[in-house]
Structure 1
């Protein structure tokens, strides 16, 4: 893909602001159920799209969604609402990145804005053979970015521990047993 440096080549660090994005979508009848409430899957797709743009901007290479760590719905969105997705990079590893997305819904008639959903997604950068490739380091400039980075590191530790438990469970079922109540 154009813009990707060869695997192993050094990548200049980038700020979180470099890749940050806000995307907006008008919610239409095809986005909703018969009650006029936007389907969760529609919101999820827009979350994945916004997070993917952030990861692509940071790497300027092909990226794929590896996981959605957390997706919490707080308030519904309705036909005619404007869905705004604010996405930014929280953490960068060797080939993976955590992107946080905040979704807000604006009632365009009243101006009321509600927090609709929040999500954390992990993306992996890929080389031309679809193997993980190194990504540019992340420069944290603000206290807010440093806080988000600390929280993302904690989520990453939990994710890695869970993967380790799952692997252990597959190889030794005795390690999977739930503790007695």
Structure 2
């Protein structure tokens, strides 16, 4: 189980938490919980969903604990790079522009935890709205709203980057 899903669970935890050490703690707690409960699964998809749900719960516990301790849960100057080196082309005012996933995920990292979690599970792990709702213990409508609001914020942020010249991003319809 650890060999099969360990990297995915760690990457998910790292996308939600401020440091690799915190992500390692969540990784260990997630698999400790699995081994302590001796849980069996119907299929691999069920196992992966359970692992993400458990990791999500441990991340939320981290934020609750950090809030009580007065810690800052996410350092925006230390962004997680989920996808590196890929680009997409969009057309903006008749001219092609290349959108860097690196720039997009830098903006995703600035979102609050719930929308960032939904974006990661939807776009990186390729889960459906219903599966994300099951993993995050929320309803599908809430997940849709989180994704919609996150896309809207990202679209505005990317437009601002383009206007300010701080990136090679076009507003295009990448987030419509």
TM > 0.5 fold call: no
Higher helix share: 2
Higher strand share: 1
Q: TM-score, structure 2 length as denominator? A: 0.32
Higher relative contact order (CA 8 A, sep 6+): 1
